[in-house]
Amino acid sequence: MTVRLPNMSALNPVVGDVRNDYKKDIKNTSVLIVMPEQKCLKKNNGRKLIDEKILHPAHKECYYK
């Protein structure tokens, strides 16, 4: 049995990287990983909390700048 694959050049390529905006947001920051039920500290090593995100059910990321 022969299966004919579609012409890959006919598919629309993904332009850019969907993670670029995320990378720009965390550039030059410190990240502290905690359990999702924990609260991020307002200050950590002299840096202020700028954002927190739960990217996975098992951990939360706290961003400091």
Q: Using alpha carbons only, what angle is made at residue 22 by residues 16 and 25, rounded to the nearest 5 degrees?
A: 125
The whole domain housing 30 covers 18-64
Asked whether residue 44 is assigned to any structural domain, the reply reads yes
DSSP state of 57: T
Q: Is residue 1 part of a domain?
A: no
Per-residue pLDDT of the chain (65 residues; tens, 9 = 90+): 676 766 555 544 444 444 455 556 666 788 999 999 999 999 998 999 999 999 889 999 999 98
Rg (Cα) of the chain, in Å, rounded?
A: 20
Would residue 59 count as lying in a domain? yes
Q: Considering the entire predicted model, what is its pTM?
A: 0.58
Tell me how many domains the chain contains: 1
